[in-house]
Amino acid sequence: MATRPRSPFRWGRLVLFAVLLAGAGITILPFLFMISTSLKTLAETLTRISPSPFSPDFWPRTPQWSNYRDAWKVASFGIFFKNSVIIAVTTMVETVVISALSAYAFSKIRFAGREILFTILLSTLIIPETVYLIPNVIIVSSFGWMNTLAGLTLPFVASAFFIFLLRQFFNQVPNELLEVSRIDGAGHLRSFRSVMLPLSKAPLFTVAFLSFIGSWNALQWPLVVTQGSKWRPLTVGLTMFITEAGPEMQLRMAGAVIAIAPVILLYFVAQKQFTEAITRSGIKA
Amino acid sequence: MKRSLLILMAFLVAFGAFARGTKEAAPTVAKPAGITADPTGATITFWYQHAKDKDVAMKKMLDEFNSTNPWKITVKGEYAGGYTDIYNKMIAAIAAKNPPDLVVAYQNNAATFQVSDALTDLNPYVKDAKYGLTDAEYADFVEGFINQDINTQFGGIRLGFPPNRSVEVMYHNLDWLKKLGLGVPKTWDEFYAACKAATDKAADTYGYAIDTDASRVFAQVISRGGDIRKADGKGYNFNTPAMKDSMAFMAKLYKDGWGRKVAKAYDDQNDFGNGKVLFTISSSSGLTFYGAAVKAGKAGVFDWSIAAPPTSTGKPTLNLYGASVSVPKTTAQKQLAAWLFIKWFSEPKQQAAWTQVAAYFPVRKSAEPLLADYLTKDVKFATAWNLLKTTPLKSEPPFAGYDLVRDAMSKAYNAILDGADIDATVAKLDTDANKIFKDVAP
Amino acid sequence: MRKQRLRDNIAGYLFTGPALILIGIFSIFPVFFTVYVSLFKWRPNGPAGFLGLGNYVEMFGGNPLWLLLTLASIGGFVLAAFLLRSRRGAAGKALGLAGGIGVLAASLVAFVVALPYLVAQGDKEVFDSIRVTIWYSIGTVPIQLAAGMVLAVLLNQKVAGRQAFRVVYLIPYIAPAVATAAIFELLLSLRTDSFANQLLGLFGAQPLQWLQEPRGIFQMLSGAAAYGPAPAMGVIPAYWSEWAQGPSLAMGSIIIYSWWVFIGYYSLLYLNGLSNIPRQLYEAAEVDGAGKLRSFFSITVPLLSPTTYLLTILGVMGTFKAFTHIFVLRHAAAAGTVDPVSVSIFFTYFRKSRLGYASAVSMLLFAIVLGLTVLQRRTEKRLEYGD
């Protein structure tokens, strides 16, 4: 292995760091604006406006943390937050279970009609959302699931995308490992639980995380399916709050930060495992 | 291969049957001829768009109704989002056959609901001997309010009832006008001169914040004695002198630099509060917000007020708007219960209470004495109210699909401001609008 | 053995049962339902009259000639591509070349002539929305993929704060569109003091109307100032001149927003692909004296091609389905130029409450996406690295 002199290497890293920092700055700028506006008074949002974080007008004179308390109270964010958590966690758990079981079957169990069913499954990936919005409303309503946890979660827990993803991974697990447990007399469920699951922590984590995010950020469906604040999630509450707050920019931004913060926090916490999971799951064509 | 095809066919047939099946159950249609339903003990749901303080106030009024009404009707109200959210939800609810029992809707939205035959005609209820309004009560409604919901597109049935109203007014900075040595403009020419005088490039001030919302277009057309409806009510007519003159006027104002476009919602209000713009034309329901903007603004607190927008006919005409409440077709009992609530809500005592919270106008003239204190305290609101009582009112067409026409109007207005040929643009707007009218017709 | 087969079948159906039932009800049934509804005049409260193919006739116009000619020309393109690829001997090659070019030329002429007439007699709004979708696709997918790939390579290097950077670049994707759009409305507003206009001011350029600008980008760059309806022209030049104007600046602003949202997301997916490339390849290249740039183009890009093709399919499909990130920045001044098919269908469903017609347009969208997917899978099979 050839060794390189150390000085050019350091320069390269510095330039790289600078470039990434600049890019990150551009990416973050809108959020900085959101946060700084959320901490201003109404008067400041009208009079001290600047698009550049280097100008003092960009930042509040004294941070108005009370804006967050106001936004939280006024918009009953407590309830919406709780709802979002319940809906997202339920969706995530159901998605992981259903997708994993299905993917395992499509990958490792030879059953009649497997290939055709899988092709039909894949074809649902093409369907645009608008096609199933109103039919689903009719179906959910006729089941009596309007404004219930079932109506908010079940239409989404079976996703061809996640089944496809997991199947790709499972396909790469050598069949011999499963044969071993089969010889011991284990049924499919046992094999799945004792052999496949432990190996699949990473891709399962990916599916869990993506489905959580998808559910947390969903807007159109919960907007139509929820009535009243009983099951209203954060995104719907935020949209309504943004309309409510009207010209009070600082409250709108505070509401927006409240909606975004948990997701970002969750991502920070889970990030390490997430990137590891992506790295090891191998999403191949 | 064959087997799976069969399975697919079975799917298709089964679901097709299922689909047809869900269409079979039609909602029970109430028979309102001489209302015979019994409203006792009914529970109804009410979707409204009132938020924050108004939400709290509405809930209080609902509590009052629920505990004092002699039929033991219970109204469950909920904040269901903004007007557009409620509209979208209502369409989905109609499709799913579970609409609320009372819903807030603009007249043209109600018309779109009625294309699906989803609403109850309220005329029989208004005229009913036992549950309706007496002639005196009917006459007590402010002129023009109570008839806004009668829809010619559907043969004159009444698709809603007014819980409150607002009008379009011209917000103006009195201190600034005084400084310029000008009075409040009554004609468009005076308006132009004032805008010109107010524009100062160095101080970055200008005359009028041009909001390209369709309601502003309508306000201008009626101020010139015109309308955007066809005379026979069967479509739109934009190829009128009133429309073209309005557009030409604004295009000139914009080109000369005395007016600037509004970038996004509330920018005009904020510029006004900061003392950057002399005039805005907007809804009277924004009174309290404008007050807050002035208080918080850069220019300190200045004297401002509202007036009728300028006119070219010598007499101003005001653009009257405000959502009504509509009663979807549910059961005879619930429909009557909903009507009884609306009737209660429109009574002078409730209207006075509601006005003080919501800054909308009461729909009953006899609410005025009950509002005496409020009117003396809030001078600007009193000004607006007097304006309302004495000025002829006109409202935008309650046609199904008008929402999309509003989009087209806004687009045309913007293009003309940017220099598009007025005749060609207005002609295209007229064609597009009438196509929408035909597309969405019942 | 039989018993095993039975056990396998039972297990298979038990495991996949829940998923299949749910997908059957909530994804597949809606497709059949939509096909069914598209044959009717259908209001929210139910069917109002059987139309047969009436909705489709409204969409494509009364004369089937133009639709058939357009479809035939598209088929011709596919055939030409096939012919130009055949490599069976010298004679075969020459024939393939000649035939391919001939078919291509004929298809091109047919397409250029037929499409404008099809649009003129059909529903212009629908075809305009397809054009908007295509602009959105072209404007977002290539850049998002390329930038995503470059960013992934950068984030894969050993640099301080690597983990933090990876998080930061993903935040725009995680945040709900409703919140991030509010900021971009400010950044790209037409006010002279907006961020975008101040940036322009630095370069001495005039402020622009950004999200409210309905004129096409190419049109603006060429100095043409026209607003309002275009002057009367022949059918064919009228239609193609609309293409020549390019996407509106409003659409361009939305595309910029889209870059900000999705580049980090694509970089994350590429990071996965990068991890599959063995380090030894880079080390070997280093030994041979290749610079970083050379390694990038000769090792990284080719070995990432499977990922690239997957992301291209998903990306293009995504742009055809995209709704939220475009709708949140829609302004009436630019109406029509920022309305992709998904938004057009949404309006037809909700504002016009014409469920039958909306379903027909949905079917068209479905057919286009299906066609693109099939096309991409065919090209993928041929061009995937290592075939």
Nearest CA in chain B to C329: B264
Does the structure show a pLDDT above 80 at A102? yes
Q: Is residue C255 part of a domain?
A: yes
pLDDT for A283 beyond 50? no
Instruction: State the pLDDT confidence band at C375, using cuts at 50, 70 and 90.
Output: confident
Are residues A85 and A29 part of one domain? Answer: no
pLDDT at C179 over 80: no
pLDDT band for position A33 (cuts 50, 70, 90) = confident
Same domain, A100 and A155: yes
Whether residue C7 is found in the same domain as residue C151:
no
Nearest alpha carbon to residue C189 among B261, B201, B255, B208:
B261
Contacting C residues, span 241-280, partner chain B, CB-CB under 8 Å: none
> Which one of A124, A135, A282 has the shortest CB-CB distance to C276?
A282
| Angstrom distance (rounded) from CA C45 to CA C118 | 32
Eight-class DSSP state of C296 = I
User: Among B81, B96, B298, whose Cβ lies nearest the Cβ of A137?
Assistant: B96
**Per-residue buried b or exposed e for C347-358, using 16+ beta carbons within 10 Å of the residue's own CB:** bbbbbbbbbbbb
pLDDT tens digits, one per residue of C297-336: 888 888 888 778 778 887 888 888 888 889 889 998 999 9
Give the domain extent around B48.
Answer: 2-165+322-387
* Residue range C105-163, pLDDT digits in tens: 999 999 999 999 999 999 999 999 999 999 999 999 999 999 999 999 888 888 878 87
Q: Any chain A CB within 8 A of the CB of B167? A: no
- Looking at residue B298, its pLDDT comes to 83
B29 CB within 8 Å of a chain A CB: no
Indicate whether B392 belongs to any domain.
no
Q: What's the CA dihedral at C279, C282, C284, C287 to 10 degrees?
A: -130
Q: What is the dihedral of CA A166, A168, A170, A172, to 10 degrees?
A: -150
Residue C5 belongs to domain spanning: 1-36
- Do residues C28 and C141 share a domain? no
Task: Looking at the structure, tell me whether residues A30 and A143 fall in a common domain.
Answer: no
Q: Which residues pair with B281 in a beta bridge?
A: B170
Find out whether B352 and B370 touch, Cβ atoms under 8 Å: yes
Inspect the interface and report whether the beta carbons of A227 and B80 lie closer than 8 Å: yes
Question: In which element (H, E) is residue B154 found?
Answer: none
- Nearest Cβ partner for B428 among C229, C351, C352: C229
Provide the b/e sequence for C367-382 (b: ≥16 CB within 10 Å). ebbeebbebbeeebee
**B104 or C81, which is more confident:** B104
CB-based contact, C199 to chain B, within 8 Å: no
Cβ separation B419–C335 shorter than 8 A: no
B399 in Cβ contact with B434 (< 8 Å):
no
In a domain, B393, yes or no: no
Residue A207, token pair as written in the block:
């599916």
Q: Does residue B257 share a domain with residue B362?
A: no
C354 reaches B (C-beta below 8 A): yes
Q: Is B411's CB within 8 Å of C186's CB?
A: no
* Reported confidence tier of residue C385, pLDDT bands at 50, 70, 90: very low
Is B28 among the domain residues? yes
- Mean pLDDT, range A46-65, rounded to an integer: 79
- Contact predicate C349/A135, CB 8 Å: no
Same domain, B283 and B421: yes
- C271 reaches A (C-beta below 8 A): yes
When pLDDT is cut at 50, 70 and 90, the band that residue A8 belongs to is low
Give domain status of residue A118, yes or no: yes
Q: Which residue does chain C place closest to B98, by CA atoms?
A: C45
What is this structure's pTM?
A: 0.85
Is A132 in the same domain as A210?
A: yes
CB contact under 8 Å between A99 and C264, yes or no, is no
Which residues, including other chains, have CB under 8 Å from residue B133's CB and lie 6 or more apart? Answer: B126, B127, B343
- Quick one: what percent of chain C has pLDDT higher than 90? 34
Residues contacting residue C199 through CB under 8 Å, at least 6 positions apart: none
Same domain (yes/no): A40, A101: no
Same domain, C296 and C148: yes
Contact between A30 and C260 using a beta-carbon 8 Å cutoff: yes
Residue A115 covered by a domain = yes
Q: What is the CB neighbour count within 10 angstroms for residue A229?
A: 17
Residue B21 lies in a domain: yes
**B381, B360: one domain:** yes
Hey, which chains touch C, using 3+ CB pairs under 8 Å? A, B
User: Which chain A residue lies closest to C43 (C-alpha atoms)?
Assistant: A134
Q: State which of A24, A43, A64 marks the end of a domain.
A: A64
What CATH number is attached to the domain comprising B255? Answer: 3.40.190.10
Whose CA is closest to B191, among B167, B170, B214, B215? B170
Mean pLDDT score across all residues of chain A: 80
Q: Could you tell me if A112 and A55 lie in one domain?
A: no
CB contact under 8 Å between C45 and B440, yes or no, is no
The domain tally of chain C equals 2
Question: Does residue A4 belong to any structural domain of this protein?
Answer: no
Section C83-90 average pLDDT? 71
Contact B403 C228 (CB under 8 A): no
Asked whether the beta carbons of residue C15 and residue A102 sit closer than 8 angstroms, the reply is: yes
C299, amino acid identity: I
What integer pLDDT is reported at residue A134 of this predicted model?
Answer: 76
**Number of structural domains in chain A:** 2
Chain A interface mutation, best of C8, C15, C173, C277, highest count of A Cβ atoms under 10 Å: C15
Predicted pLDDT at B161: 93
pLDDT at C256: 95
Which residues on chain C are in Cβ contact (under 8 Å) with A220? 323-324
- Pair (A129, A224) in one structural domain: yes
Instruction: Please give the Cα distance from A224 to A139 (Å, whole number).
Output: 13
**DSSP of chain A, one letter per residue?**
-----HHHHHHHHHHHHHHHHHHHHHHHHHHHHHHHHHTS-HHHHHH---S-TTSGGGS-SS--THHHHHHHHHTTHHHHHHHHHHHHHHHHHHHHHHHHHHHHHHHH---TTHHHHHHHHHHGGG--HHHHHHHHHHHHHHTT-TTSHHHHHHHHHS-HHHHHHHHHHHHHS-HHHHHHHHHTT--HHHHIIIIIHHHTHHHHHHHHHHHHHHHHH--HHHHHH--SSSS--HHHHHHHHHHHHTT-HHHHHHHHHHHHHHHHHHHHHHHHHHHHHHHHH----
Residue numbers in C near A2 (CB within 8 A): 286-287
Q: Is B20 on the interface with A (CB under 8 A)?
A: no
Give all strands (DSSP E) within B287-377, no chain letters.
304-307, 318-321, 324-326
Q: CATH number of the domain that C208 lies in?
A: 1.10.3720.10
Give the CATH number, domain containing residue A230: 1.10.3720.10
Query: Per the domain annotation, does B395 fall within a domain?
Result: no
Q: Which residues pair with B74 in a beta bridge?
A: B43
Tell me the pLDDT of chain C averaged across its residues. Answer: 86
Last residue of a domain, one of A48, A64, A80: A64
CA B150 to CA B161: how far, in whole Å?
9
Same domain, B248 and B348: no
Which value, in Å, is the radius of gyration of the alpha carbons in chain A? 24
Are A35 and A100 part of one and the same domain? no
Task: Indicate whether A17 and A134 sit together in one domain.
Answer: no
Pick from B8, B9, B15 the residue to mutate for testing the C interface (most C CBs within 10 Å). Answer: B15
CA distance C315 to C266: 9
pLDDT on residue C88: 67
**Which residue on chain C is closest to B214 by alpha carbon?**
C332
- Which site among B103, B215, B262, B264 would you substitute to test the C interface, given the most C Cβ atoms closer than 10 Å to its Cβ? B264
Give contacts of B 112-141 with C, CB under 8 A.
Answer: 112, 115-118
B338: number of CA atoms within 13 Å, CB side?
Answer: 28
Question: What is the C-alpha to C-alpha distance for residues B302 and B294, in angstroms, rounded to an integer?
Answer: 7
Is residue C296 domain-shared with residue C154, that is, in the same domain? yes
Residues B183 and B270 in one domain: yes
Q: Which chains touch A (3 or more CB pairs under 8 A)?
A: B, C
CA distance A202 to A179: 22
Is C306 in contact with A285 (Cβ distance < 8 A)?
yes
pLDDT tens readout for residues C197-217: 988 988 988 899 999 999 999
In a domain, B153, yes or no: yes
Measured between CA atoms, the residue of chain A closest to residue C11 is: A188
The partner residues of C266 in beta bridges, in order of sequence, read: none
**B7 and B92 fall within a common domain:** yes
| Residue A129 sits in the same domain as residue A250 | yes
CA–CA distance, B126 with B327 (Å, rounded to integer): 13
Chain A contact for C384, CB < 8 A?
A: yes
pLDDT in tens, A163-220: 887 887 788 778 887 777 777 777 788 888 888 887 787 778 778 878 888 888 887 7
Residues B79 and B106 in one domain: yes
Running along chain B, 442 residues long, what does each successive block of 10 average in pLDDT?
Answer: 42 39 42 71 92 85 94 91 87 87 94 92 91 90 86 90 92 95 94 95 94 95 94 92 96 95 88 94 89 87 94 91 92 93 93 88 91 90 88 91 93 94 95 92 80
Domain span at A49: 11-64
pLDDT at B25: 40
Segment A19-23 mean pLDDT: 90
ipTM score of the complex?
Answer: 0.84
B262 and B143 both lie in a single domain: no
Domains contained in chain B, number: 2
Return d(Cα A77, Cα C3) in angstroms, integer: 56
Looking at the fold, whether B145 and B210 belong to one and the same domain comes out as no
Contacts of B182 (CB under 8 A, 6+ apart): B190, B193, B194, B197
Look at residue C52 and tell me if it is in a domain.
Answer: no
pLDDT at A79: 86
Judge if A220 and A177 occupy the same domain. yes
Cβ C257 vs Cβ A27: under 8 Å: no
Does one domain contain both B429 and B288?
Answer: yes
Say if A6 falls within a structural domain.
no
Do both A52 and A110 map to the same domain? no
The answer on B139 and B27 residing in a single domain is yes
CA of A244: which chain B residue's CA is closest? B51
